[in-house]
Structures are given as C-alpha cells and as structure tokens.
C-alpha cells in the first residue's frame, strides 16, 4: 500500500476537480485516500474555475500530458459538454457529465455518475425507492442525473421545479420520452403526496441562503435529501430533522459513486499501481 505521506514524484499521475466555488468539494480527500488504499501513485487537486474562464482553463488542462481525468462539479456539468469528444451512455441520456477522462488516442470522454451514486446511496441506507413519489427542485446537471436514475429505479411519479423554466420543461420531456409509465409534473410545492423531497440546487452552500423549498406540507414520514455536501447538514436538512423527518446527506451520493468514477478513470489511464495491487483500480 502506498503510505499516506508518500511524496508526489515526477511520475505521479494527475487528476483535478473543477468548479466554482470549490471549497465545498469532498472529492480531493475521498479520491486521494482511495489512491492510497489502492497503492496508486496519483493525486487529485481542486481547481476553482469561473464559468467565463472555463474554455481557456479546460484547454490548458488538456495540454498537461500527465493529467488523466477531471471530476466536474457546479456549475460546469452541462457547459463542459462542448469540450468533450464523446459521451458515455449515462451522459448522453442526461445531457451532463460529472467526470471526464483522457483516452489512449488523446480524445476526452465524459460520463455522469451522480444519479447512480444517489440511488446507490439510498440503497446503502436501507431505503428502497420503488413506487415512490418524488419532489425534485433543481434541474441542472446533478438534478437531471438524479431524476433519470430515480426513474430507472422504479419511482411512480416525480414533480420537477426549477427557477429556469426551460430546464424544467426539457427534463420533463426527456423523462416522459424515456419512461412513459412515469407520471411527470411540473411546478408546485413539496406536499403530502411526496415520499422523498430532494434539493439539487446549490442553495444552502452559502451562509444566509434561504431554504430551497418549504417542508411544512410534507408528511412526517417523508424523507428530505440534499445534494449539497458542505455544510453536511444544510439549513434544509436541519429544518427537516427538527420536524422529525428522516434526512439523507449529500455525502452519500459522493461516497457511493467514487468507485464508479475511479473505474471510469482507470479504464483508460496509465496509472501505476504497486505490484501487490495490480492494475488500477
């Protein structure tokens, strides 16, 4: 096993996570520990890239020959598409990515695992989503991924809300086309019909943010989930917990997609593992 204090050397493979803001990112700690556990000579670093600088920044990152992959977070999960050469199946369905890798021929491929991570996180907590009625606010990259994955997991209905109505409408049409048996509605509030209410917006990351949606009409047994990872207990989750709701933390999504993202990176990189661990991952 690579020791936790192993030095970065000239042959260390590089990975990055890009977003704005980036201080909330949990991926560096999670993936760097994963590299240690696997005996991999690699490091993942956080890079704050404002939206206006994304094209020049991504072009620059692609020029680093020893950079093998990038984790993509808010607000770049959709905008990054134009900087990719091809998309995996999940990314094609969702229209957004949360990771990208350099292929052997130099092209860059993007994929989306937010949805799979969220559903796996529910199952890891002993929650079965079949036949649930879901309220989702936020139809950006992560919200789209979660909606598609929840639909694939067998929920009965989903209500979509987004301040940018075109995103809400687009996601509704996508879900209706792919999952014709799913009841899809738009607008409205989280209320007694919902088994699960999800915040997939950045609201709650900054101090003083309002709640992304009201919870006073939810049933006592409804679950409230937030994709925001820092703070771990957002104002929404704190308010829901105070009302007696079961809450679902944002970190469950990340923790349950890490192995998927690591496998995606390892399938086409030149990561060097120690002999006792074989090829990464």
What span, in angstroms and rounded, lies between the C-alpha atoms of 101 and 80?
12
Average pLDDT estimate for 27-34 = 92
- Phi and psi torsions of 157, nearest 5°: -155, 155
Q: What is the pLDDT of residues 105-117, one digit of tens each?
A: 999 999 999 999 9
Predicted TM-score (pTM) of this structure: 0.86
Q: Are strands 86-87 and 67-72 parallel, antiparallel or unpaired?
A: unpaired
Average pLDDT estimate for 201-222 = 96
Q: Is the dihedral of CA 36, 8, 263, 280 positive or negative?
A: negative
Structure tokens at 223: 């679950």
Q: What is the pLDDT of residues 225-234, one digit of tens each?
A: 999 999 999 9
Q: Bridge-partner residues for 102, per DSSP?
A: 108
Query: Are residues 168 and 139 in contact, defined by beta-carbon separation less than 8 angstroms?
Result: yes
Q: Report DSSP letters for 174-243, one per residue.
A: HHHHH-TTSEEEES----TT-SEEEE-SSTTSSTTPPPSS--TTS-TT-EEEE---SSSS-HHHHHHHHT
Catalytic residue, chosen from 26, 77, 144, 230, is: 77
Domains detected in the chain? 13-112+254-266 (3.40.50.10860), 115-249 (3.40.50.720)
What span, in angstroms and rounded, lies between the C-alpha atoms of 106 and 276?
29
Q: What is the 3-state secondary structure (H, E, C) of 95-150?
A: CCCCEEEECCCCCEEEECCHHHHHHHHHHHCCCCCCCCEEEEECCCHHHHHHHHHH
User: Degrees (nearest 5) of the Cα angle 113, 79, 34?
Assistant: 35
Neighbours of 215 (CB within 10 A): 21
Catalytic, 77? Answer yes
Q: Is 278 left (phi over 0), alpha (psi -120 to 50) or beta?
A: left
Query: Are residues 73 and 98 in contact, defined by beta-carbon separation less than 8 angstroms?
Result: yes
Mapping DSSP to helix (H, G, I), strand (E, B) and coil, where does residue 248 land? strand
Give yes or no for residue 135 having a pLDDT over 80. Answer: yes
What span, in angstroms and rounded, lies between the C-alpha atoms of 122 and 252?
8
Average pLDDT estimate for 31-45 = 89
Tell me the pLDDT band of 35, cut-offs 50, 70 and 90. confident
Q: What is the pLDDT of residues 137-186, one digit of tens each?
A: 999 999 999 999 999 999 999 999 999 999 999 999 999 999 999 999 99
């Amino acid at each position: 096993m690579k020791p936790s204090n192993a030095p970065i050397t000239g042959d260390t493979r590089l990975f990055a996570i890009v977003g704005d803001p980036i201080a909330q990112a949990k991926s560096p700690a999670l993936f760097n520990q994963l590299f240690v556990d696997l005996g991999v000579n690699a490091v993942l670093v956080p890079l704050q890239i404002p939206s206006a600088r994304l094209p020049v920044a991504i072009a620059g990152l692609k020029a680093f020959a020893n950079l093998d992959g990038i984790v993509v977070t808010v607000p770049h999960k959709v905008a990054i598409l134009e900087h990719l050469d091809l998309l995996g199946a999940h990314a094609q369905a969702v229209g957004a990515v949360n990771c990208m890798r350099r292929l052997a021929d130099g092209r860059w491929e993007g994929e989306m695992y937010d949805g799979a991570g969220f559903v796996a996180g529910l199952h890891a907590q002993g929650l079965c989503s079949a036949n649930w009625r879901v309220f989702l606010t936020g139809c950006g990259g992560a919200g789209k991924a979660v909606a598609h994955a929840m639909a694939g997991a067998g929920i009965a209905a989903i209500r979509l809300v987004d301040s940018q109505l075109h995103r809400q409408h687009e996601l509704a049409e996508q879900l209706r086309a792919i999952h014709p048996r799913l009841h899809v509605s738009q607008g409205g509030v989280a209320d007694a019909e919902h088994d699960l209410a999800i915040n997939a917006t950045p609201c709650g990351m900054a101090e003083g943010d309002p709640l992304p949606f009201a919870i006073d009409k939810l049933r006592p047994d409804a679950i409230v989930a937030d994709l925001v990872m820092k703070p771990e207990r957002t104002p929404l989750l704190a308010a829901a917990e105070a009302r007696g709701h079961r809450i679902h933390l944002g970190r469950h999504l990340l923790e349950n997609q890490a192995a998927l993202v690591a496998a995606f990176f390892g399938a086409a990189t030149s990561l060097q593992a120690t002999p006792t661990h074989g090829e990464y991952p």
